[in-house]
Amino acid sequence: MASKKPVVAPSQTAIHWLMVTLTIIAIPHFFYQPVWVALIFLLMMSWRVMHSWRGWLLPADKRLLKVLHSISAVLTIVLVFYSYGVTIGRDAGVALLTTMAAFKIVEVKSLRDYYLSCFMGFFLVITHFFFNQSIPIVILMLVNVILLTSCLITANETDSSAKNRVKQASIMVLQATPLMLLLFVLFPRISGPIWGLPNDAMDIPDSLPDTMTLGEVPPRNSAISGMSDDITIGNISQLTQSDAIAFRVKFENNQFPDRQNLYWRGPVLWHTDGKRWLPLNEKQKKQDQVVQLHVTGKPTSYSITLEPHDRRWLFALDFPTTYPQTMQTQLTADGELNSREAIKQRVQYQLSSHHQYQFNPEMDGYLGYGLNLPDDRHPRSQRLARDLVEKSESSEAYIESVLDYFRQQNFSYSLTPPALRGDTIDQFLFETRQGFCEHYAASFTVLMRAAGIPARIVTGYQGGDINPVDQILTVRQRDAHAWTEVWLPNKGWIRIDPTATVSSNRVDFGIGDLLPAERRSPRAIANNDRLVEMWQSAKNNWDALNSAWDMWVVSYGPERQLDLLKKLGMQQPDWQKMISWLAIGIALIFSWIAWTTLRLKSASQDKSQRVYQQFCAKLARLDIVRQPHEGPEDFAHRAQQALPAYQQQIATISHLYLHLRYRGDAVEEAFFDSVKQFKPQL
């Protein structure tokens, strides 16, 4: 036998097939990446195309081209480094992988190169997940995997048609699905950067800021890196432009609280310079503060799937009483629920809240901050506060009179309020009187503090849409809201939403009703009620599908895994148990495969063949091993030479077997008996 295996080249069909597949895989990346990535990719592909079409030389054909090829590959790496500053991380890594896969394709000469290109293709498929985890992308990835598998098939089998190869690849991918599901469910999920997606994997959408600015906010596009954070962040009214999802809520037993109670707490703002509002700084937050919480009534339990917002806070229904177990969460003394790390991936947490509560009714360490107002600002507001205080007998009466002021003085709720300049609070309270929640919350807080009542602004979300299909409440960025909390002795912090006083619809029906019609359904069908209805129902179903996908697949993390395994009956699941179950599952799948293949094989062998195998096995014990390609007669001759004493027996057995198998006329029993009696010894 030849000692050296010949170098086998993949067929032209296989190479073309792979080129098409790689291009299909790479195209979505071109949208995220600089133009030169696409250019290099297409340049290399064209080179290979010209090789097939016009016989252009490839790098392997000429030394000069080989050097040129290597130099451009190195230059590309330098270019990646130059563009991104690094060669690892999501964007740089994907750019590198995309271009190198293209460089490899012109190098493909042997079957080994071909396989390498295919495997690079598989890696490239995975990287789609770094940019997008939606259902359409997963379908695209599945198609890519099937195409790559058919490339591997094509390299080994050129006879069958393209349709058959794709069909075979689909069957193979389908056969791999049980193993995939097993690994997905059981492979231990550990929260942490190594096990998750890269840190920059999620595109962080607009989200709730932790400052609030009244009046003009610089447009987002003008943000230049290096400028301070709070300038690049828009204020709440800008958020109403965004339909992006903030988080999804699944209530236990689908028991929804009243809309009036759907206040989702976020950052709490204390400090103001008259225009901007800021939270307590880290040092102030760290002060040891005692939190006193008295609750009455039944708690509401729910789980939240939070989209990444790159901040630490978690949203909770006012007011959270049990906190998520799986994250290292902590409730600050001003009622913010914070995670230890910034939320860079979609997370899920379970908690419960009470709607009736008293928060720090006796004492609160931050009361001093709740009274601060900038000196020499808002003179007209201060005067109004003094007037109203004189007329009121108690703090409660004062609060009521301020709310009456909002009701009676022709204030209105507007998503597009007039721009404020100068002293924003005074201008809003006495001139424009059109505003959004943040205007009302801010001016109400100023009026409270001016009267000596501790007050703070709570930002977060209010309301949300319940999808009738899956009973999941979706809270979007446009539901962003700001309200006020005032502290009254023996009552603690009380939530007062001045916006609700002015526009009760905002709270009763959610912001959806206040949005212009074209944001609710496409303009083209807006006039046809039936079409709008159908569109709504299709949208609900699609949203429900996406919610299920996000909650069960994309954010299937440690918590979901533990939860699911408990439901499946595993007691106290830990990673050791998961690994052992995984091993058992894989062993089961493989033994099933082995069993079916063996059964198929043995079914195709008739009994005479099995008995002949016994005969061969008997001789194999004496080191006379039959090669698979060795015919029975040749083997018999060899055995006879090795065992002259058994010449006659071996001749009889092989004669009977040959007649049985190739002539079909010998007596089976005679053959079986002679094999049984055959007991060779050296």
In whole angstroms, the minimum distance from the beta carbon of 661 to other proteins comes to 5
Which of 104, 97, 139 is closest to 122 using CA atoms?
97
In whole angstroms, the minimum distance from the beta carbon of 636 to other proteins comes to 10
Q: From 278-286, 314-322, 495-503, 654-662, give the range in contact with other proteins by CB under 8 A.
A: 654-662
Backbone phi and psi for residue 336, each to the nearest 5 degrees, phi listed first: -95, 135
Q: From 61-69, 77-85, 122-130, 152-160, give the range in contact with other proteins by CB under 8 A.
A: 152-160
Contact indicator for 277, 335 with CB cutoff of 8 Å? no
Taking CB under 8 A as the rule, does residue 226 contact other proteins?
no
Binding test (CB under 8 A) with other proteins, winner from 225, 416, 576, 627: 627
Gap between the terminal Cα atoms of the chain: 30
Give the Cα-Cα-Cα angle 5, 11, 14 (nearest 5 degrees): 120
Taking CB under 8 A as the rule, does residue 8 contact other proteins?
yes
Which of 438, 459, 483, 437 is closest to 265 using CA atoms?
459
Q: Is 271 exposed, middle or buried (0-12, 13-18, 19+ CB in 10 A)?
A: middle
In whole angstroms, the minimum distance from the beta carbon of 187 to other proteins comes to 36
Taking CB under 8 A as the rule, does residue 3 contact other proteins?
no
Q: From 39-47, 156-164, 431-439, 550-558, give the range in contact with other proteins by CB under 8 A.
A: 156-164
Taking CB under 8 A as the rule, does residue 659 contact other proteins?
yes
What DSSP state is assigned to residue 551? I
Taking CB under 8 A as the rule, does residue 630 contact other proteins?
yes
What DSSP state is assigned to residue 310? S
Contact indicator for 550, 137 with CB cutoff of 8 Å? no
Taking CB under 8 A as the rule, does residue 603 contact other proteins?
no
Contact indicator for 407, 502 with CB cutoff of 8 Å? yes
Which of 383, 400, 23, 435 is closest to 212 using CA atoms?
435
Binding test (CB under 8 A) with other proteins, winner from 3, 7, 161, 569: 7
Amino acid at 562: L
Taking CB under 8 A as the rule, does residue 628 contact other proteins?
yes
Taking CB under 8 A as the rule, does residue 639 contact other proteins?
no
Binding test (CB under 8 A) with other proteins, winner from 180, 631, 647, 673: 631
In whole angstroms, the minimum distance from the beta carbon of 638 to other proteins comes to 12
With CB under 8 A, what is the number of residues at the site for other proteins? 24
Nearer to other proteins, 472 or 624 (CB): 624
Spatial CB neighbours of 488, under 8 Å, sequence gap ≥ 6: 395, 396, 453, 494
- Residues in 474-513 at the binding interface with other proteins, rule: CB under 8 A: none
Instruction: Name beta bridge partners: 213.
Output: 276
- The half-sphere exposure of 471 on its side-chain side, counting CA atoms within 13 A, is 10
The residue to which tokens 């179950």 are assigned: 581
Which of 91, 92, 70, 94 is closest to 81 using CA atoms?
92
DSSP sequence for 62-97? -HHHHHHHHHHHHHHHHHHHHHHSSS-SHHHHHHHH
In whole angstroms, the minimum distance from the beta carbon of 474 to other proteins comes to 55
Map residue 10 onto helix, strand or coil. coil
The residue to which tokens 């049990």 are assigned: 322
Taking CB under 8 A as the rule, does residue 632 contact other proteins?
yes
In whole angstroms, the minimum distance from the beta carbon of 660 to other proteins comes to 9
In whole angstroms, the minimum distance from the beta carbon of 345 to other proteins comes to 46
In whole angstroms, the minimum distance from the beta carbon of 10 to other proteins comes to 9
Q: Could you tell me the strand order of the sheet in which 300-306 lies?
A: 320-322, 347-353, 300-306, 245-251, 472-476, 465-467
State the alpha helices, DSSP H only, in 233-378: 236-239, 282-286
Pattern 663-682, other proteins, x by CB under 8 A: xx------------------
Taking CB under 8 A as the rule, does residue 634 contact other proteins?
yes
Q: From 5-13, 308-316, 392-400, 484-492, give the range in contact with other proteins by CB under 8 A.
A: 5-13
566: tokens are 């408990």
In whole angstroms, the minimum distance from the beta carbon of 2 to other proteins comes to 7
- Residues in 345-404 at the binding interface with other proteins, rule: CB under 8 A: none
Taking CB under 8 A as the rule, does residue 600 contact other proteins?
no
In whole angstroms, the minimum distance from the beta carbon of 153 to other proteins comes to 12
Q: From 73-81, 251-259, 326-334, 662-670, give the range in contact with other proteins by CB under 8 A.
A: 662-670
Taking CB under 8 A as the rule, does residue 2 contact other proteins?
yes
H/E element holding 276?
strand 276-278
Nearer to other proteins, 267 or 632 (CB): 632
Nearer to other proteins, 63 or 663 (CB): 663
Which of 278, 270, 287 is closest to 332 using CA atoms?
287
In whole angstroms, the minimum distance from the beta carbon of 156 to other proteins comes to 7
Q: Is 64 exposed, middle or buried (0-12, 13-18, 19+ CB in 10 A)?
A: exposed
Q: From 86-94, 154-162, 165-173, 294-302, give the range in contact with other proteins by CB under 8 A.
A: 154-162
Taking CB under 8 A as the rule, does residue 157 contact other proteins?
yes
Map residue 607 onto helix, strand or coil. helix
Nearer to other proteins, 405 or 612 (CB): 612
Which of 566, 561, 568 is closest to 183 using CA atoms?
561
Which of 289, 285, 293, 345 is closest to 323 using CA atoms?
293
Q: From 20-28, 153-161, 255-263, 323-331, give the range in contact with other proteins by CB under 8 A.
A: 153-161
Taking CB under 8 A as the rule, does residue 16 contact other proteins?
no
Nearer to other proteins, 520 or 655 (CB): 655
Where does 397-479 show beta strands of DSSP type E? 412-413, 434-435, 455-462, 465-467, 472-476
In whole angstroms, the minimum distance from the beta carbon of 531 to other proteins comes to 57
* Cis omega (within 30 of 0) for bond into 130: no
Taking CB under 8 A as the rule, does residue 274 contact other proteins?
no
Q: From 35-43, 221-229, 292-300, 660-668, give the range in contact with other proteins by CB under 8 A.
A: 660-668
Pattern 79-118, other proteins, x by CB under 8 A: --------------------------------x-------
130: tokens are 């770094």
Nearer to other proteins, 109 or 312 (CB): 109
Taking CB under 8 A as the rule, does residue 218 contact other proteins?
no
Amino acid at 214: L
Q: Which residues bind other proteins (CB under 8 A)?
A: 1-2, 6-9, 111, 156-157, 159, 627-634, 658-659, 661-664
